[in-house]
């Protein structure tokens, strides 16, 4: 993490690991910035680093490197096989698929269930997405969208993903 964030060695009152732990606490508990417990670094300092790392795109870089490490540990290729494909259900057919491709360069792959009679059955790749959303429910900051900007909400999802990947690496699962 130190190498990815390009942190310079200097004397600090608060260790950057403590800053990271505070950011992870905020994502996990859904706590407000100003309501962080007093045993953490001051919220202004934590928020400063959060905004700095967001603006530099450090979370993207870290997330990509951790994802590749987990994939290799699982015996898969480092690069994702889906690439720029977004999986969606039948509600996202038609014009919206074209708008997503034009605006973001992603290809929308619509996965439709053909069996409504026999009840619930997981649908291939879409089940991966549903399972991931379920994991995100463990992070209170993601359960309700209280973020003021879309960018901030996106960064919180990245942070939750980083934390999940770090847990996978540490537990070896």
Percent of the chain, pLDDT > 90?
Answer: 23
pLDDT over 70 at 49, yes or no: yes
pLDDT over 70 at 82, yes or no: no
Instruction: Give the residue-averaged pLDDT of 78-87.
Output: 70
Which pLDDT score is estimated for 94? Answer: 72
Instruction: Give the residue-averaged pLDDT of 50-78.
Output: 88
Instruction: Give the residue-averaged pLDDT of 112-136.
Output: 71
pLDDT over 60 at 6, yes or no: no
pLDDT digits (tens, 9 = 90+) for 19-47: 999 999 999 988 889 999 999 999 999 99
Given a contact cutoff of 8 angstroms between Cβ atoms, the answer to whether 36 and 141 are in contact is no
Residues 110-120 as b/e (b if ≥16 CB within 10 A, e otherwise) read beeeeeeeeee
Which pLDDT score is estimated for 139? Answer: 83
pLDDT over 90 at 4, yes or no: no
pLDDT over 60 at 5, yes or no: no
Which pLDDT score is estimated for 25? Answer: 93
Which pLDDT score is estimated for 10? Answer: 67
Mean pLDDT, the chain, whole residue set: 80
pTM score, two decimals? 0.71
pLDDT classification of 115: cutoffs 50, 70, 90: low
Six-digit token string for 155: 């960064």
Q: Give whole-number Cα distances, 63 to 6, 101, 137, 152, in Å.
A: 15, 23, 19, 16
């Amino acid at each position: 993490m130190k190498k990815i964030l390009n942190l310079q060695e200097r004397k600090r009152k608060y260790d950057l690991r403590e800053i990271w732990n505070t950011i992870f606490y905020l994502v996990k508990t859904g706590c407000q910035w100003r309501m962080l417990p007093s045993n953490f670094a001051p919220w202004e300092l934590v928020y400063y680093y959060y905004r700095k790392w967001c603006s530099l795109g450090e979370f993207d870089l870290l997330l990509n490197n951790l994802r590749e490490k987990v994939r290799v540990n699982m015996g898969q290729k480092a690069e994702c096989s889906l690439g720029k494909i977004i999986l969606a259900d039948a509600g996202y057919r038609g014009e919206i698929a074209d708008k997503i491709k034009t605006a973001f360069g992603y290809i929308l792959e619509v996965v439709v269930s053909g069996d409504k009679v026999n009840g619930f059955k997981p649908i291939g790749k879409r089940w991966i997405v549903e399972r991931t959303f379920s994991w995100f429910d463990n992070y209170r900051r993601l359960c309700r969208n209280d973020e003021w900007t879309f960018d901030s909400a996106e960064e919180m999802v990245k942070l939750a993903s980083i934390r999940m990947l770090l847990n996978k690496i540490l537990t070896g699962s």
